[in-house]
Structure 1
Amino acid sequence: MPPETAPLRFPRSSPYWPVVSHPLLRRVLPGLAVSALGDGMALVAVTWLALQLAPAGQRGTWTAIAVAAYLLPSAAGSMIFGRLLAGLNGAQLASWDARLRAVALAAIPAAHRAGILSIGLYVALLAADSLLRSWGTAGRFTLIAELLPRRHHLPANAVLGILGNAATIIGPPLAGVLISFAGPVWVIAIDAATFAVLALTYRLAIPTLKTRTDPTEPTASRTAGFEIIRRNRSLLGLLVLTFGFFLLFGPFYVAMPVLVTEDLRASATTLGLYYTAFGAGSLLGGLATGYLHRWPLWPTTIGIVVGFGVAMLPLGLGTPVGLSLPAFALAGLIWAPYPSTSMALFQRSATTTELPRALAANGAVTVLAVPLGTLLGGPLTAGLGARRTLLVCAAATIALGVVAAGLTRLPGRTAPDRGGAPDGPRERAAAGS
């Protein structure tokens, strides 16, 4: 067999090989892995420091405010900085986010050392840290679309998801150990250092990409990203699907602890087992995502929504822990590809000029979905009970996917692939085979 037709061996046969071997991306991935680990540790440190700084009797309220400040201002930032950041390429957007996060987070231990760190200042710095988060996410996925041909977008998106999933498994226990020795403020200092490393990585690893300029394009408005989505029915449908999917998952954070403590009469260890099972399933699902690159994206994305709802049904049907626990792990496995497939749909449905603004607008909306769903979970759980709440959410998720599947069969619902680097001759030949 001639060498050029010989089958590739692992790891070159892996769909991830073109991503990790790319001359520019392979320089960025270590920085992304380090910052993902920092964020994994911050999941524990942010709330723990809020508990320490909050006045007695107000700890629950201030902890909730701190978590909200750490996540939600990105929705406002996607609009506030729309004009300022218009025209920047993916690496520049991601770099600006990393710089702001490094500075804002580093100010927390600095204020602590100066003896001026109050709960109010802490919340303000967390809010500043979050302002460019939607743009940073948009920048990372835009960079993938700029550097790789379309057929490699899904595996590349999956690599980012794998890093995040691994960080949520490793980061929290590592943070717990570090907090016991040094305190949460210094874990946040480490998180700041990881983003400084990431910002430096973007600056040194990708120095050649230039700012996108289009003399025919008018100055972008603050709502340009929303206008791009509104004009594209495929992107608008995807945004609605994602918002609904995440919204219906939000009540889980309220109903699941109640289910374990009141319905199952179990301990926090059992609740931890459910979280661990979901995380392990998500990690496996993330590793498998790259192998879905030949699957049709829209049916796959909608199938994930339906499959996730089906996997969640045992929790609401009162099945024993021995069955509901693996079902919840299966739910994590099914859920894991969704961020990657939905991002790939954005990458294929928008040009690289439109993509950062569209993704920032998408992030501004979807970041609100889980918190709103969690707030909805309170009255739902109080009125229906934990088990019925989970059952209703699972059934509604299935219904959402079925409705989306029906709508995508209507003429004109699927937009053509337009964004991303074009496939080369070898990619086009492989696609046609």
Structure 2
Amino acid sequence: MFSAAPGRLIPSPYRSLFADRTFRRLMPVFALSDLGDGMTVVAVAWLAFTLGPDGGQGTLAGVAVAAYVLPGALGALILGRWMGRLPARRLLVTDSVLRAVLLGAVPLAHMAGLLTPAVYVGLLGASSLLHAWGKAGKHTLFAPLLPDDQRLAANSMLSTSLWSATIVGPALAGLFMEAVSPAWIIGLDAATFAVLALQTGRTALPQSSVPPATGGTRRGLIILRRQPELLGLLLVTWVFNLAFGPVKIALPLFVSDNLAAGTGLLGAYWAAFGIGAVIGALALGAAKRLPLWPAMLGIIAGHGIGMLPFTLTDTAFPSLIGFAFAGLVYGPYSALSFTLIQDRAPADSLTTVTAARSAVLLTASPLGAALGGFLLDRTNAPAVLVGCGALMLLTVPTSIAALKLYGNHRRRPQPPHLPTEQARHIA
């Protein structure tokens, strides 16, 4: 009786999901790796500050953070011919081994006195070269193993793990860096990737009946271009990420200049956003059926509304509540978009489509951050933050109009002179 009660508190989609042995074995190591990445977000920049020359610490920190992210887009584009042929598990293991080795070299080089800024940036950049493929393999791994009605719950768990890591990881990194160098935090992240590679490699997975298609990232981009729904999702998500990019630059200035507060309040903003995102992602996974496009556009609109209280600068409370609400509605977005891709993309091209999507999206947030810095020099932080929300709100009616136009095109009757098979294909 007592042991049965907690099970009733867990929504049935999650109960059936964790009944799958493969998911039970892999989800904990996914969460461990996410936690390691959450800690490394802080450690990468902090170690750069200690390595950079006087007056150049900020520049080195920016270069290091970019090196830890952007080469993944390059790897997705130039290595697609070879990586796209690998099954999802091998992609994930290959990326995890590469990151374990190269990130693990950071504390060793630091201990040996060989960690110069050039070596540091080189190790970070090389470690991220296959990461778009690794993420594609991670999100593709469960697609052929789980029933269609469990995909949304699985993607929600992956999103929840990422959002939880963004809350807990930086806090743990701050505690650890009181005792050890940030280089060892990066080494700890390397250890989590080693565990991920080992556990994924030794977990028995059913052989997929659909071999990976040839063509690499180029094929993925072609599929995205030829399928209006997937292309629309990519464009909407790119604009959404672009609109969120300036927030990372403008929010610290809003806290320091407009509210005359310190880093404690800035951390409270991001903690509120992250906690809201975790709750939102978990709540989504409990939903058995959900109209994907209306839900995603509703998320973008809700996020935009959550940014509007930044017009009020007399107190932090309205904008803090608004930012928490923005996180609450933003949390499910990744799970919904990946579920739509899994439903619409050809099974043999799922990894290449996901990798191509990651390569394109990796450009949005840095461009948005650069745009935010340009605007901050010409206006103020509240205007930039509210402008981000306004752009999100503007995205919604534009997307609805495009979807209606596409729907009307599909309902248009076929010309009678077309052969029957060709008419069916166009419809």
**How far apart are 1:319 and its partner, in Å?**
6.8
- Number of residue-to-residue matches in the alignment: 405
2:282 is aligned with 1:284: no
**How far apart are 1:212 and its partner, in Å?**
5.1
CA distance in 2 between partners of 1:345 and 1:60 (Å): 39
The question of whether the paired residues in 2 share the 8 Å contact of 1:234 and 1:413 is answered with no
**Corresponding residue for residue 422 of structure 1:** none
- For structure 2, the residue ranges without an aligned partner over 5 or more in a row are 1-5, 411-427
Partner SS state of residue 151, structure 2: helix
**Corresponding residue for residue 312 of structure 1:** 307
2:244 is aligned with 1:236: no
For 2:136, give the aligned amino acid: A
Q: Could you report, residue by residue, the CA deviation over 1:22-42 in whole angstroms, capped at 9, with x for unpaired residues?
A: 121111111111111111111
Q: Could you report, residue by residue, the CA deviation over 1:325-377 in whole angstroms, capped at 9, with x for unpaired residues?
A: 11110110000000110111111110221110011010011111111101100
Change (3 A) 1:94 1:324: same
The question of whether the paired residues in 2 share the 8 Å contact of 1:408 and 1:414 is answered with no
1:9-158 matches, within 5 Å, as 10=8, 13-158=11-156
**Corresponding residue for residue 174 of structure 1:** 172
The question of whether the paired residues in 1 share the 8 Å contact of 2:156 and 2:285 is answered with yes
For 2:263, give the aligned amino acid: A
CA distance in 2 between partners of 1:90 and 1:30 (Å): 18
The question of whether the paired residues in 2 share the 8 Å contact of 1:38 and 1:191 is answered with yes
The question of whether the paired residues in 1 share the 8 Å contact of 2:248 and 2:369 is answered with yes
Change (3 A) 1:231 1:58: same
**Corresponding residue for residue 254 of structure 2:** 259
CA distance in 2 between partners of 1:9 and 1:199 (Å): 31
**Corresponding residue for residue 294 of structure 2:** 299
For 2:354, give the aligned amino acid: L
**Corresponding residue for residue 385 of structure 2:** 390
The question of whether the paired residues in 2 share the 8 Å contact of 1:306 and 1:397 is answered with yes
The question of whether the paired residues in 2 share the 8 Å contact of 1:317 and 1:391 is answered with no
1:319-358 matches, within 5 Å, as 320-358=315-353
Q: Could you report, residue by residue, the CA deviation over 1:31-78 in whole angstroms, capped at 9, with x for unpaired residues?
A: 111111111111111111111111111100000000000011100010
For 1:401, give the aligned amino acid: V
For 2:353, give the aligned amino acid: A
The question of whether the paired residues in 1 share the 8 Å contact of 2:37 and 2:165 is answered with yes
CA distance in 2 between partners of 1:291 and 1:85 (Å): 34
CA distance in 2 between partners of 1:264 and 1:319 (Å): 7
For 2:168, give the aligned amino acid: I
CA distance in 1 between partners of 2:148 and 2:197 (Å): 26
What TM-score results when the alignment is normalised by the length of structure 1?
Answer: 0.89
**Corresponding residue for residue 429 of structure 1:** none
The question of whether the paired residues in 2 share the 8 Å contact of 1:310 and 1:398 is answered with yes
**Corresponding residue for residue 369 of structure 1:** 364
Partner SS state of residue 101, structure 1: helix
Query: Which stretch shifts more, 384-393 or 304-313?
Result: 384-393
**Corresponding residue for residue 273 of structure 1:** 268
**How far apart are 1:88 and its partner, in Å?**
2.1
Change (3 A) 1:223 1:411: closer
Q: Could you report, residue by residue, the CA deviation over 1:241-272 in whole angstroms, capped at 9, with x for unpaired residues?
A: 00000100111112111112222222222222
For 1:269, give the aligned amino acid: G
CA distance in 2 between partners of 1:204 and 1:245 (Å): 38
Q: Could you report, residue by residue, the CA deviation over 1:139-192 in whole angstroms, capped at 9, with x for unpaired residues?
A: 111112111122111110010111111111111111112112121111111111
For 1:77, give the aligned amino acid: G
CA distance in 2 between partners of 1:194 and 1:67 (Å): 20
* Identity score, percent: 42
CA distance in 2 between partners of 1:345 and 1:261 (Å): 40
CA distance in 2 between partners of 1:327 and 1:19 (Å): 33
**How far apart are 1:391 and its partner, in Å?**
1.6
Partner SS state of residue 142, structure 2: helix
CA distance in 1 between partners of 2:328 and 2:155 (Å): 16
CA distance in 1 between partners of 2:197 and 2:287 (Å): 31
The question of whether the paired residues in 1 share the 8 Å contact of 2:307 and 2:323 is answered with yes
Change (3 A) 1:211 1:181: farther
**How far apart are 1:410 and its partner, in Å?**
2.8
Q: Could you report, residue by residue, the CA deviation over 1:98-122 in whole angstroms, capped at 9, with x for unpaired residues?
A: 1111111111122223321111011
The question of whether the paired residues in 1 share the 8 Å contact of 2:217 and 2:352 is answered with no
Q: Could you report, residue by residue, the CA deviation over 1:195-250 in whole angstroms, capped at 9, with x for unpaired residues?
A: 00000011111354369537xx6x41552211111111111100000000010011
Structure 1 vs Structure 2 CA RMSD: 2.0
Q: Could you report, residue by residue, the CA deviation over 1:69-102 in whole angstroms, capped at 9, with x for unpaired residues?
A: 0011100010122111223222221111111111
Q: Could you report, residue by residue, the CA deviation over 1:361-403 in whole angstroms, capped at 9, with x for unpaired residues?
A: 1001111111110110011112121111112211111010221
Change (3 A) 1:342 1:210: closer
Change (3 A) 1:396 1:149: same
Query: Which stretch shifts more, 172-181 or 230-239?
Result: 172-181
CA distance in 1 between partners of 2:326 and 2:287 (Å): 17
